[in-house]
Structure 1
Amino acid sequence: MICGGGRLPGDIAAKVEAGGRPVVMFAIEGWADPAVVAPFRHHWLSLARYGTFLRLMRQEGCRDLVVIGILLRPSLWQLRPDLGTVRVLPRIVRAFRGGDDHLLTSLGRMLEDDGCRLLGAHEVAPDILAAAGPIGARMPGARDAADIALGLGLLAATSPFDVGQAAVVANRHVLAVEAAEGTDRMLARIAELREIGRIKLPRGVGVLVKAPKVGQDQRFDMPTVGPNTIDGVARAGLAGLAVAAGGVIVAEPQEVVRRADAAGLFAVGVPTPEGA
C-alpha cells in the first residue's frame, strides 16, 4: 500500500489484514501519519524514489498494490529522483503534462509495466464505498433533490476537463466547483462568501455534491468524504451533502453519521444519472 496522509490508509489496511491478507505500507515522507503507519509493517519513502520502491516491494514479495491517502500533486522540479526514477523520467515528464487523472493513469501504466497489479481501495475493502440511501438520520427534501440532480449533471459535464469531483449547488444556483483547492477549501470559500454577503440565501439551503469523474480510473484518487467534510458543510451553512453511491469513499462512517446528525445535516448516497 502506497500511503499518503489521513486515517483512511490505516482503516483500509486493518480491514485487509482482518480478512487474512498481510499488508506492507510504503509511507510517503511528509504526508503519511506515523501513528497510522506504526501498527503495520512499513517502509518510509520520499517522492521520486521509484527504484527504491520497486526494490523493497519485490523484496517484501508484494504482488498487489493499492494507492490511498492524501497527497497533493508536487511540482516536477521538487522531485529528487533516484537512479530507478531517472530510468523512467521521460515517462514521468510526459505524465505531468496534463491534469490529475492523466498523471495518475500514466503513472499507473508505468507501475503495471514493472510488474505491479494495481487495485482500487474499494476492491480490497468494498464496504468503504457509500451505499445508496441515507448516511444518518435525515433525508434531503424536494429542493435539495433538485440541487443534487443539477450538481451531478454539472460534474458529469465538466469531467472531460479533469477539473474536480465536487460542486456546491443552492436553489438550483451553482455556487462553487472544486478545482485545485480541494473540497475542504471550496467549502471554506462558501463560508467566507456568506460572511461577506455575497451569498444571500439563508443557512440550511444548498448541497455539497461529490462524484467521481466520468471514465475515471477508480484505482486512483477516488473522491472521499469524512468527518472534516461534514464540519465544512456545516460551516458553509448548507443543508447537507450527497455522494455518488458506489463511487465515493466514506472515511470514518460512524463519525460522519454522528457529526451529520448533531449538526442537523443530511448525508445521502445517490445513484448517478444514466450514462454518467
Structure 2
Amino acid sequence: MTSSNVRTERRGAVLEVTLDRPKANAIDTATSRELGEIFTAFRDDPELRVAIITGAGEKFFCPGWDLKAAAEGEAVDADYGKGGFGGLQELRGLNKPVIAAVNGIACGGGLELAISADIILAADHASFALPEIKSGTVADAATIKLPKRIPYHIAMELLYTGRWFDAQEAHRWGLVNRILPAAELMTAARAMAEELAAGPPLVFAAIKEIAREAEDMKFQDAMNRVTGSQFETVERLYRSEDQKEGARAFAEKRDPVWKGR
C-alpha cells in the first residue's frame, strides 16, 4: 500500500509503516486518519504479527503536528481518526509488538508516537524534544506517558523546558532500547521484528494486555485480575493449541511451532 503520505510494506508477518510526507514527515489530520486505518488493519490481520514505524529520509522521524496545516485552519483538537493522533497511541486492543525505528528528529507528537511503540531503536544522530511549552500548549500524551517511562524528575524537566536531547541521553534514561549507526537502523529493526514474528503471538498478546491494563493498578489487584480470568488474552492463551504445543515442544526438546490459535 502506498499513498502520498504513508508507505506500507508487508515482509512476511511484519508490516513496515513509513511516514513519507516531505519535507519533515509532519502529521496532519488526513495523515493521522490514514495511520489509524493502517494500524487498525494491522491489529485485525491474523497474518501480521509485528509492525515497524519509521520515517522516510535521514533527517526526520516525525516532528508531530503539521503547523502549516494548523496555520491553514486545522484545529489542534481535530478528529485524528482511529487510534488518536498518529493512529497508534490510543488504539484499543492492539496486542501485537510495535517497533519504532527513529531515523532522525522526533519531537512533539512525533516523540509521542515513538513512545507509543513497545520498543524504540534510534539512529545515532536522532534527536528528541517536547517543544509544546514554547508555543503555549501542552504535550498531553507525553505528559501522561513520559513520567512512567523515565525518571519522574527528568520527564518533568523535559516537559517544562522543551529542551532538545540526543540519542545518547535518551538511551541513558531508558527511553530508547538501542542506538545504531543510521545505515544499520532498519537492518536491526527488521532483524528484531523477524525474531518477534517467530515467537508465540498469543503470549505476546497476553504480555501486552497485562502490561497496559496493570500500569495504574496495584500489584495484587492486577494479579487478581489474571487469576480471576479477567484478561481475555490470558484466557485465550490458556485454552489454545499454542499453550499445549509449548509444553510438548519442551518435553520433546524441539523448537515449538506457533500457530496463533
Higher relative contact order, chain-length normalized (CA < 8 Å, sep 6+): 1
- TM-score of Structure 1 vs Structure 2, range by shorter chain: under 0.3
